[in-house]
A and B are shown apart, each in its own frame.
Chain A
Amino acid sequence: MNYAVETFSLTKIFSDWWGRSKVYAVDNLNLQIKTNEVYGLLGPNGSGKTTTIKMLLGLLHPTKGKCLMLGGQGSDPKVNARIGYLPEESYLYRYLNARETLDFYGRLFKLPAKVRKTRIEALLDMVGLKAVANRSVGTYSKGMARRIGLAQALINDPELLILDEPTTGLDPIGTKQIKDLIIKLAQRGKTILLCSHLLADVEDVCDRIAILYGGKIQTQGQVRDLLQQTNKRQIITDVISDSTVEKIKELVHAENAECEVTSPMDRLETFFIRTVETAQRQAQSTSGAVSTTKISDFLGEAKVEGILDKLVSSKVEQELPENDVTTEQVESSSSAIPEPNKQLLSELTGSNVTDETEKVKEELTEKVESGESQEAEQINTDILNNLVNRPESEEKKDDPRPDKQSQAGGDGGE
């Protein structure tokens, strides 16, 4: 199997001035990150996460073992051309403004001037810094610097994105945007190595995680497998009558199980985003980054689709897969409720609930689609192709997830 990132007994020993071994920063690490996987590297401070990343990128030499990225060494420019890296802090040139910063990194990737220009504008738009793009980055807040750091990591449309503590210093909206972006990029075939100690971030986006301690992997696996409480079930519904609740309770008791019924709480993150969105709608001024609020809105528009497509160079999905629908629901302030188990719910309450949900979903989908004719979609695709300078056939060839996307497209048509 081809792995995007692979390490073989990777070891880094910290030596003192006399060359005597002192600390094992990374100890015999064997990582295997599959292509198109969002992999989270977790661990407390000093557990060896950043050291591992630095060895991958060739910034540190392994004491023992070796590591490969996209089949090559981290110090190989050919490999580097396909990688995006956001360090633990956005190390930027204070005297350059945002546009110049991105232009500089674009030049290092040898991007032609036209491509560079369109990508820079698209990225500035995406990270919400277009309004302050002519200010030197030395005057940026930490969160704004983080956004521009992320933009530089994406300028080459990387196949592998290495993000070291990407949400440090970001406000909750920025954090959420990054998380949504990670999901989107993964859907479009990118591999993402995420290194963080903010567990909530990792939990939301990662397919697999590894927990490091003392430079060794303590545990690793699918997030769902590691976290799911298989001995419990959770049912979430819209508002239902007390009599229905009683019926459910009876059904549950009939299986000798305990049942607790409460109203779910909003997550503070959702509440915060809603409050800021309200302020933005009232057009209150800010000198900071403009939160482009909802990434899903942002992606639905022709222009924005162009931006993302340019970034990820993949075929534009006609409809977002299930995860995105959930995200859209959170952002449209309906609720932060996880998707219910439809089958179980229909068994418990009859088939009405499922029908209703699907109806609502259909309506929503239709409403969104009604704004875009097929012609418009074709134009968008043309613009995208122009922006990324690649013919459609090649684009399709590059598409790493054709099955998944066509499936998603098919769902949208139903």
Chain B
Amino acid sequence: MIRGQISNLKREAMAVSSIWAVANNTIKQVLRMKIAVVFVILLLVMLPVLGISSTGDETLKGRLQTFISYGLSLTSFLLCILTITISIYTVTNDIKEKQIFTIVTKPIRRIEFLAGKLLGVILLNTILLGVFAVIIYSIAIYMPKFYKATSSELEQVNNEFYTARASLPIPYEDFTKQANERYKKLKDSGGLPDDISRADAINEINNILQILSRSVDVGSTLEWEFENVKPLADSIFIRFKLEALQDTPDSRIYSRWIVGEPHAVKTGEGGKTPVYVEDFRNLAETYYEIEIPSEVIPDSGKLSVVFYNYPSNNTVVTFPKGGMEVLFKAESFTSNFIKAVFLILSRIVFLACMGILASTFLSFPVAILLCLMLFVTASFSAFFLESFDYLSQNVGVLYSYTLKWMIKILPQFDKYNPTKFLVPARLVSWTFLGQCIFFMVCIKAFLLLILAFVIFTYREIAKIIV
């Protein structure tokens, strides 16, 4: 029994040694054939240049945001292209140049050969990603020193850039039931247009009810309650954008914000923590952030936010979708940056598996074109999916059962775009990162790999030459 286990362990160790031999050889291949050189040089030159040339809105925060946005996007893009290129090159070249004849005739399973290739590609890209991430991080951290930032600028970037803020949006309310009731009433009273379908009508009613729930009448208040507000810093922020139904007298909206423990906000008394009350006048259609001291938050983490629409506005004020959120520091910039890098790494692992799969049955040019096409589609998946909704109904049906389905199978790179989080200093939550790794790597990449193993195990490696 024990002997059997030992021999099993030995066998596994030996398999690992063959996989490592192939991986090691793959790294040598990519480095010595100078495939990665162009990408590495480009990044080594571009990142410092971006550090100097990024100006944004001329503020330090703007510079940092521009640099992190371009730096991380460029690194991610180039490494993704490199991953696709080398994962396909390394397998198809071995098949084309026939070195594979001398490998698969050695005591190595074809699965081990592919696993070795994959490991080499991922390892190399992980190292490169690590190096460039360190460069980007260092430039981002030292940028305030290069520009001799003022203390107010420093305070701003500390609060709004070098942080990882959790976001609590307006709680979602489900109005389906009310929409159905309203539809029934309207239908009974004959108040519906003839050419509208039931689904469209209910959808439209639902939308209106959603907007109404985010609207504040003249001289009225709107209240939201949030839970688990546990900031690591001295301030929390309310980020909002307002829309006015009619123009206000001086094109500004006058409002009062009341933030504090729910009971104290409602009754105005009895709270252990202070209540924040402040009046503002803001332009419509513009995002603002209000800084609120963390001391207003009770230990329970429950927070009430009230918006008051001053009568002088003389118009209904509406918050657009995503137009109000409570932001607070939940983690450090460094941990958020590392998580963002893991988002890129997940992408690289998926692309490496996709490249390996393509190279098991396609030649280099065909495989690379296919993978690039899929990469672009995955990078703009939201755009593509949205665009199908604008197609006419007949064509839309055709696409929704073909292309739309295929795009949904692909991972959504745009959803897991790291710059989307680092630029506004949003927290990449562990749940979000876990979700990304689970779907992109554990499910989708793994399935591609299984398919690659099956195809490669049963395909004929050689061609018949007669």
B26 CB, nearest partner CB in chain A, Å: 10
Which residues does chain B contribute within 8 Å of A60, judged by CB atoms? Answer: 460-462, 464
Whether the pair B105, A57 counts as a contact (CB closer than 8 A) is yes
Whether the pair B28, A96 counts as a contact (CB closer than 8 A) is yes
Which residues does chain B contribute within 8 Å of A54, judged by CB atoms? Answer: 462
- Interface assignment of A385: CB less than 8 Å from any CB of chain B: no
Which residues does chain B contribute within 8 Å of A149, judged by CB atoms? Answer: 102
Whether the pair A91, B460 counts as a contact (CB closer than 8 A) is no
**Which of the 9-residue segments B106-114, B175-183, B236-244, B446-454 touches chain A?**
B106-114
**Which of the 9-residue segments B14-22, B63-71, B226-234 touches chain A?**
B14-22
The answer for the CA separation of A59 and B101 in the assembled complex, in Å, is 7
The answer to whether A87 and B461 touch (CB under 8 A), given A77-B108, A108-B18, is no
Which residues does chain A contribute within 8 Å of B104, judged by CB atoms? Answer: 58-59, 75
The answer for the CA separation of A80 and B466 in the assembled complex, in Å, is 26
Residues 56-81 of chain A, each 1 if its beta carbon lies under 8 Å from chain B, else 0: 01111100000000000011011011
Whether the pair A50, B465 counts as a contact (CB closer than 8 A) is yes
Whether the pair A107, B17 counts as a contact (CB closer than 8 A) is yes
A315 CB, nearest partner CB in chain B, Å: 26
Which residues does chain A contribute within 8 Å of B103, judged by CB atoms? Answer: 108
B325 CB, nearest partner CB in chain A, Å: 53
- Interface assignment of B151: CB less than 8 Å from any CB of chain A: no
- Interface assignment of A11: CB less than 8 Å from any CB of chain B: no
Residues 81-116 of chain B, each 1 if its beta carbon lies under 8 Å from chain A, else 0: 000000000000000011111111111110000000
Whether the pair A95, B33 counts as a contact (CB closer than 8 A) is yes
Whether the pair B466, A77 counts as a contact (CB closer than 8 A) is no
Which residues does chain B contribute within 8 Å of A96, judged by CB atoms? Answer: 25, 28
Chain A residue nearest to B32 in the complex (CB): A95
The answer to whether A14 and B105 touch (CB under 8 A), given A91-B99, A95-B29, A107-B21, is no
Chain A residue nearest to B116 in the complex (CB): A108
The answer for the CA separation of A274 and B101 in the assembled complex, in Å, is 37
Chain B residue nearest to A56 in the complex (CB): B105
The answer to whether A85 and B29 touch (CB under 8 A), given A12-B464, A59-B462, is no
- Interface assignment of A25: CB less than 8 Å from any CB of chain B: yes
Residues 1-13 of chain A, each 1 if its beta carbon lies under 8 Å from chain B, else 0: 0000000000010
Chain B residue nearest to A80 in the complex (CB): B107
A292 CB, nearest partner CB in chain B, Å: 24
Which residues does chain B contribute within 8 Å of A51, judged by CB atoms? Answer: 464-466
The answer for the CA separation of A96 and B98 in the assembled complex, in Å, is 15
A153 CB, nearest partner CB in chain B, Å: 8
Whether the pair A77, B109 counts as a contact (CB closer than 8 A) is yes
The answer for the CA separation of A77 and B17 in the assembled complex, in Å, is 14
Whether the pair A87, B465 counts as a contact (CB closer than 8 A) is no
Which residues does chain B contribute within 8 Å of A81, judged by CB atoms? Answer: 106-107
Residues 87-106 of chain A, each 1 if its beta carbon lies under 8 Å from chain B, else 0: 10101110110001000110
The answer to whether A91 and B21 touch (CB under 8 A), given A54-B462, A105-B106, is no
Report how many residues on chain B are interfacial, defined by Cβ distance under 8 Å. 30
The answer for the CA separation of A25 and B460 in the assembled complex, in Å, is 15
The answer to whether A14 and B98 touch (CB under 8 A), given A95-B32, A105-B106, is no
Whether the pair A89, B98 counts as a contact (CB closer than 8 A) is yes
Whether the pair B109, A87 counts as a contact (CB closer than 8 A) is no
A142 CB, nearest partner CB in chain B, Å: 15
Whether the pair B29, A93 counts as a contact (CB closer than 8 A) is yes
A51, A105, A108: residue with the most chain B Cβ atoms closer than 10 Å: A108
Which residues does chain B contribute within 8 Å of A108, judged by CB atoms? Answer: 18, 21-22, 103, 106-108
B115 CB, nearest partner CB in chain A, Å: 13
B6-54 interface (Cβ within 8 A of A) = 14, 17-18, 20-22, 25, 28-29, 32-33
Which residues does chain A contribute within 8 Å of B460, judged by CB atoms? Answer: 59-61
Whether the pair B462, A80 counts as a contact (CB closer than 8 A) is no
Which residues does chain A contribute within 8 Å of B462, judged by CB atoms? Answer: 54, 59-60
The answer for the CA separation of A167 and B32 in the assembled complex, in Å, is 30
Across the interface, B101 reaches (CB within 8 A) one of A23, A78, A87, A156, namely A87
Whether the pair B466, A46 counts as a contact (CB closer than 8 A) is yes
Across the interface, A91 reaches (CB within 8 A) one of B28, B97, B108, namely B97
- Interface assignment of A109: CB less than 8 Å from any CB of chain B: yes
- Interface assignment of A313: CB less than 8 Å from any CB of chain B: no
- Interface assignment of A152: CB less than 8 Å from any CB of chain B: yes
The answer for the CA separation of A93 and B376 in the assembled complex, in Å, is 33
A160 CB, nearest partner CB in chain B, Å: 11
The answer for the CA separation of A136 and B33 in the assembled complex, in Å, is 12
A42-60 interface (Cβ within 8 A of B) = 46, 48, 50-51, 54, 57-60
Across the interface, A25 reaches (CB within 8 A) one of B17, B107, B466, namely B466
B107 CB, nearest partner CB in chain A, Å: 4
The answer for the CA separation of A91 and B93 in the assembled complex, in Å, is 11
Across the interface, A87 reaches (CB within 8 A) one of B25, B98, B108, B466, namely B98
Which residues does chain B contribute within 8 Å of A390, judged by CB atoms? Answer: none
Whether the pair A93, B107 counts as a contact (CB closer than 8 A) is no
The answer for the CA separation of A275 and B21 in the assembled complex, in Å, is 43
B14, B100, B102, B104: residue with the most chain A Cβ atoms closer than 10 Å: B102
- Interface assignment of A83: CB less than 8 Å from any CB of chain B: yes
The answer for the CA separation of A100 and B98 in the assembled complex, in Å, is 18
B408 CB, nearest partner CB in chain A, Å: 33
A296-336 interface (Cβ within 8 A of B) = none
Which residues does chain B contribute within 8 Å of A396, judged by CB atoms? Answer: none
- Interface assignment of A110: CB less than 8 Å from any CB of chain B: yes
A17 CB, nearest partner CB in chain B, Å: 13
Which residues does chain A contribute within 8 Å of B33, judged by CB atoms? Answer: 95
A51, A87, A107, A152: residue with the most chain B Cβ atoms closer than 10 Å: A107
Whether the pair B107, A85 counts as a contact (CB closer than 8 A) is no
B327 CB, nearest partner CB in chain A, Å: 52
Whether the pair B25, A104 counts as a contact (CB closer than 8 A) is yes
The answer for the CA separation of A87 and B103 in the assembled complex, in Å, is 11
Which residues does chain B contribute within 8 Å of A78, judged by CB atoms? Answer: 107
Which residues does chain A contribute within 8 Å of B465, judged by CB atoms? Answer: 46, 50-51
Whether the pair A80, B106 counts as a contact (CB closer than 8 A) is yes
Chain B residue nearest to A22 in the complex (CB): B466
Whether the pair A25, B105 counts as a contact (CB closer than 8 A) is no
A299 CB, nearest partner CB in chain B, Å: 27
A151 CB, nearest partner CB in chain B, Å: 12
Whether the pair A107, B107 counts as a contact (CB closer than 8 A) is no
Which residues does chain A contribute within 8 Å of B29, judged by CB atoms? Answer: 93, 95
The answer for the CA separation of A110 and B22 in the assembled complex, in Å, is 12
Whether the pair A110, B18 counts as a contact (CB closer than 8 A) is yes
The answer for the CA separation of A96 and B460 in the assembled complex, in Å, is 26
B288 CB, nearest partner CB in chain A, Å: 58
Whether the pair B107, A110 counts as a contact (CB closer than 8 A) is yes
The answer for the CA separation of A59 and B103 in the assembled complex, in Å, is 11
Chain B residue nearest to A110 in the complex (CB): B14
The answer for the CA separation of A57 and B460 in the assembled complex, in Å, is 11
The answer for the CA separation of A152 and B106 in the assembled complex, in Å, is 10
The answer to whether A59 and B461 touch (CB under 8 A), given A108-B18, A108-B106, is yes
Chain A residue nearest to B103 in the complex (CB): A108
Which residues does chain B contribute within 8 Å of A83, judged by CB atoms? Answer: 105
Residue pairs across A and B with Cβ atoms less than 8 A apart, 30 shown, are A12-B464, A14-B464, A23-B466, A51-B465, A54-B462, A57-B101, A58-B105, A59-B101, A59-B462, A60-B460, A60-B462, A60-B464, A80-B107, A81-B106, A85-B105, A87-B98, A91-B101, A92-B99, A92-B102, A93-B99, A95-B29, A105-B106, A107-B18, A108-B21, A108-B106, A109-B106, A109-B107, A110-B17, A110-B18, A136-B32
> Could you list 13 further interchain pairs (A-B, Cβ under 8 angstroms) beyond the known A75-B104, A107-B18, A108-B22?
A46-B465, A51-B464, A51-B465, A59-B101, A59-B105, A77-B107, A91-B97, A91-B98, A92-B102, A96-B28, A104-B25, A108-B108, A110-B14
List of 4 A-B pairs having minimum Cβ-Cβ separation, nearest first: A107-B21, A95-B32, A77-B107, A81-B107
